[in-house]
């Protein structure tokens, strides 16, 4: 994870994903966002959701950033089950 952050998430600028969202507009996906995530603010998930028509957004009320939190785990399992059944 540190390698990812040291390299600026391999993005040219902070808006790269939003600026290029048209490239993924037809690809289904799921955004799972913890309400109390201070690493990746909820605003970032919301902004991506607004420009990604096939992106399904789930806010997890009692969660932060960790994928090990029960609500996050629940949503991630639901997302993988959904794509398994495609």
Domain count, the chain: 1
Query: pLDDT tens digit string along 33-81?
Result: 999 999 999 999 999 999 999 999 999 999 999 999 999 999 999 999 9
Residue 71 domain boundaries? 2-84
- DSSP-assigned beta bridge partners for residue 60: 34
User: What does pTM read for this prediction?
Assistant: 0.84
- Answer positive or negative: Cα dihedral of 25, 26, 29, 35: positive
Give me the CATH number covering residue 24.
3.40.50.1820
């Amino acid at each position: 994870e540190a390698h990812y952050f040291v390299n600026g998430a391999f993005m040219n600028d902070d808006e790269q994903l939003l600026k290029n969202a048209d490239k993924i507009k037809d690809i289904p996906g799921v955004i799972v966002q913890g309400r109390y995530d201070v690493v990746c603010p909820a605003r970032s998930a919301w902004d991506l959701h607004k420009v990604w028509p096939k992106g399904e957004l789930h806010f997890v009320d009692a969660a932060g950033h960790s994928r090990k939190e029960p609500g996050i785990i629940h949503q991630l399992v639901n997302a993988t089950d959904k794509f398994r059944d495609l």
